[in-house]
Amino acid sequence: MDTLARQRLTYFLQLGGLAAVYFTAAKLGSAFTLPGSSISPAWPASGFGLAVLLHYGVRLWPAIVLGALAALIGSGFSPFAATGATLGYTLEIVIIAVLLRWRSFDPRLTRLGDVIALLAATVFATLIGAVIGTASLRFSVIASTAPLQAMWPLAWLGHALSIILITPLLLSLAHQRRKNWTLRRMAEFIVLLAATLAISQFIFAEWFSLAIDRFPRPFLLFPLLVWATLRFGMTGAATASLLAGAVVIHATAGHFTPAFGASGTLQQSIASLWAFIGVMAGTAQILAATNAEREQAKKASAAAENKFRPLVEQSLVGIYILQHDKIAYANPWLEHATGYALHELAALPSALDIIAENDREMAAEHIRQRMSGEMHSARYTLNLRRKNGAPLTVEAYGARAVYNGAPAIIGVMTDVSERRQAELALAKSEALLRSLFDTAAEGIWILDQDHKTILANQSLLDMLGVSEHNLLFKSIDDFIDEDGKQRLHGRFPYTAENNGGQRGELNLLRADGEQRYCMFSSAPLLEENDWMIGSFIMISDITDKKRAEESLQRLNETLEQRIKGAVAANREKDHLLIQQSRQAAMGEMIGNIAHQWRQPLNALGLLLSNLKDAHAFQEL
């Protein structure tokens, strides 16, 4: 047999089983039909049918039709009347089941909203079923001549009460954990049921002949219902309510209802009884659901505590609870940090005793504001005083909460002593750097990645002749010439890629139009991922140096020309001296030569003179 065939077989078996159960319950309800009427004040079939639809699904509704139709026709009703009544009885159950499933109904009935939804849907839907069913049975050949307005309230109360008494019991039993039922618990439950039966018989059937006609006997059931609800939850509440309701039905079958006196008609007496039992059962079920929610909340709280307590106990921060100006709870971190044992912290007269005296007033005000509701939470830094008197700087965060039913402050605390010291050191370093920044003789220019000014020191402002307001968020291009723009922008990409500094010269343009010669040194400003976010530029004004260099250069050039002229003049003088020296040497040489020639010539002259004289004197 394939899966589909097995599913179909299972479905038809479920239909047959539910139809048989509904038929049996309907025949049982027909046994309590009031004399001279076609109306039964009890219709347990509705309670059984709704429980099955809620547990197995609305798809079994055809079984309700089959069971109701068979029971009514078997009781002698005409097919027309039986069909109309079946329609009403089926509608009331289907409407309740659909409404509850639409609301995401939990059949365990452990939520207050589910119980209230079941009661409200029952009151609404059974009203529809009672009107349709009673109107249909009114036309039956065996129906009484009683007016319709006298019949449908009993049918309504009977169907509603049957659902209220039976459906919660079946649903709770279907989800009951049998392992929780110990012998002692079962014995207590049996004693409870016996007491409920005895009190119900005393109230509704007068087993005991006591002259207490005016005593409000029905209220004797409430202590038993509270006992059943608190000890056994929905199962106990539903069982005790059903047992009391069964006694009332049995008494109704005997037409004996002394609990509310003998005045009024039988229908009025039954209606009063049914209303009382319904209110009693509904109250017990609401109390059971409320208690179940509370127990679930306790279990969830205990589970959360068991889950998170190790985290709290092993936390690297202090966790505390302040209540009634005392430390209601502290984790081991606070014990280690303060030097106080946990019981010593809890025994302190006030939570302010572990706070340094200088910070107590501030801490007390924060506590007062949160406890009074002026603020919900607060975060602040304060100094604690260890047991040995040493200070401990902590950052505390606490919020207003409810602890053990009373207002409290739950918070965390972390040691920030090292961070505080680091912050102080950073503040000193920042102050030092700021002082260097403000007093530096060089101009410091910090630009963003778009070359716009985000910070500048006073020296740079003086170089540019502008105020800080007129410089911030201005581009560096507004203060350099075209040649400087080309050189500067050509260097920035190189700086970003190589993470290195650059040096060069720039010509700054002052606000008054004067040009200043400057030397700059730049470096990139980088994020942790080495992404460039700006530039740091240090600028030195070298205008005076540049002008001095130019003057010196001009002076050097003039001196060079003078030196060249002097050298040329000296060279010319030396040339003249050399010429004169040469001429003097030549004259001297010529003189020497003449002297050398003069001697032989003189000798020759003397010789010639002698020859002349000899000739004259004719000595030759």
334-363, pLDDT tens digit by residue?
888 889 998 888 889 999 999 998 999 999
Among residues 426, 458, 429, 432, which one has the least CA distance to residue 444? 458
> What CATH number does the domain containing 415 carry?
3.30.450.20
Residues 51 and 149 in one domain: yes
Q: Which of 142-146, 250-254, 351-355, 451-455 has the lowest mean pLDDT?
A: 142-146
Residues 171 and 183 in one domain: no
* Same domain membership, residue 193 and residue 144: no
Give the total residue count for the chain: 620
DSSP 516: E
Q: Write down the pLDDT at residue 135.
A: 76
- The answer to whether residue 599 is domain-embedded is no
pLDDT score, position 140: 54
Average pLDDT estimate for 502-524: 84
Residue 326, φ and ψ in degrees, nearest 5: -125, 165
Per-residue tokens: 259? 């609990």
Comparing C-alpha atoms, which of 128, 133, 132 is closest to residue 98? Answer: 128
Tell me what the mean pLDDT of segment 75-99 comes to: 86
Give 360-386 pLDDT, tens digit per residue. 999 999 999 998 888 989 999 999 999
Which run of H or E residues covers position 69? helix 61-74
> Do 53 and 87 share a domain, yes or no?
yes
Please indicate, yes or no, if residue 596 is contained in any of the structural domains: no
Contacts of 592 (CB under 8 A, 6+ apart): none
pLDDT attached to residue 207: 45
Tokens linked to 463:
């170089």
- pTM value? 0.58
Name which of 45-49, 172-176, 179-183, 427-431 the model is least confident about.
Answer: 179-183
Identify whether residues 84 and 160 lie together within a single domain: yes
Specify whether 321 is located in the same domain as 272. Answer: no
Residue 61: in which H helix or E strand, if any? helix 61-74
Is 377 in a helix, a strand, or coil?
strand
- pLDDT tens across 194-204, in order? 998 888 887 77
Q: Which secondary structure element, helix H or strand E, spans residue 282, and what is its range?
A: helix 266-313
Q: For the residues 513-526, what does the mean pLDDT come to? A: 85
Together in a domain, 67 and 81: yes
pLDDT at position 14: 86
Looking at the fold, whether 295 and 324 belong to one and the same domain comes out as: no
Q: Do 543 and 513 meet the contact criterion of CB atoms below 8 Å apart?
A: no
Same domain (yes/no): 293, 367: no
Residue 121: band (very low, low, confident or very high) from pLDDT cuts 50, 70, 90: very high
Mind listing the pLDDT tens digit for each residue in 274-303?
888 888 899 999 999 999 888 888 888 788
Quote the CA–CA distance of 209 and 195 in Å, as a whole number.
18
Q: Tell me, yes or no, whether 99 lies in a domain.
A: yes
Q: Residue 567: is its pLDDT beyond 90? A: no
Is the model's pLDDT at 423 over the cut of 90? no
Among residues of the chain, what percentage have pLDDT more than 90?
16
How many contiguous H segments (helices) and E segments (strands) does the chain have?
17, 10
Residue 130 belongs to a domain: yes
What is the tally of structural domains in the chain? 4
> Would you say residue 215 has pLDDT above 50?
no
Residues 283 and 347 in one domain: no
Residues 191 and 33: their CA atoms lie apart, in Å, by 32
Measured distance CA(61)–CA(43) in Å, rounded? 17
In a domain, 2, yes or no: no
Is the pLDDT at 69 greater than 50? The verdict is yes
More confident residue, 179 or 184: 184
The pLDDT tens digits for 309-331 are 888 888 888 999 999 889 999 99
Angle at 77 between CA 72 and CA 80, to 5 degrees: 95
Is pLDDT at 420 greater than 60 in this prediction?
Answer: yes
Percent of the chain surpassing pLDDT 70: 87
**Could you tell me if 221 and 295 lie in one domain?**
yes
* pLDDT tens digits, 226-278: 999 988 889 999 999 898 888 877 776 654 444 444 444 666 667 777 888 88
462, 345: one domain: no
Q: Which residue has the higher pLDDT, 74 or 332?
A: 332
CB 41 within 8 A of CB 157: yes
**Residue 123 lies inside a defined structural domain of this protein:** yes
Write the CATH number for 48: 1.10.1760.20
Domain-ending residue, one of 155, 175, 195: 175
Q: What is the 3-state secondary structure (H, E, C) of 200-239?
A: HHHHHCCCCCCCCCCCCHHHHHHHHHHHHHHHHHHHHHHH
User: Which range has the worst mean pLDDT, 211-225, 505-519, 555-569?
Assistant: 211-225
Strand order in the sheet with 453-456: 453-456, 443-448, 532-541, 515-526, 502-509
Average predicted confidence (pLDDT) for the chain: 82
Query: Where residue 168 falls among pLDDT bands split at 50, 70, 90?
Result: very high
DSSP string, 150-186: HHHHHHHHHHHHHHHHHHHHHHHHHT--GGG--HHHH
Residue 145 above 80 pLDDT? no
Q: Does a structural domain hold residue 229? A: yes
Residue type at 341 in one-letter notation: A
Kindly tell me the burial class for residue 600, based on how many C-beta atoms sit within 10 Å of its own C-beta (0-12, 13-18, 19 or more).
exposed
pLDDT band at 142; cut points 50, 70, 90: very low
Q: Identify which of 154-168, 481-495, 581-595 has the greatest average pLDDT.
A: 154-168
Domain final position from 268, 297, 314: 314
Give the mean pLDDT of 391-399: 91
Q: CA triplet 148, 34, 125: central angle to 5 degrees? A: 55
* Residue range(s) defining the domain that contains residue 534: 440-541
Residues 578-603 have pLDDT tens digits of 787 777 777 777 777 777 777 777 77
Identify the pLDDT of residue 304: 79
| 204: in domain | yes
Residue 217 and residue 208: Cα distance in Å, rounded? 12
Residues 6 or more apart whose CB falls under 8 angstroms from that of 296 comprise 110
> What pLDDT does 276 receive?
83
Predicted pLDDT of residue 51? 92
Separation between Cα atoms, residue 612 and residue 617, nearest integer Å: 8
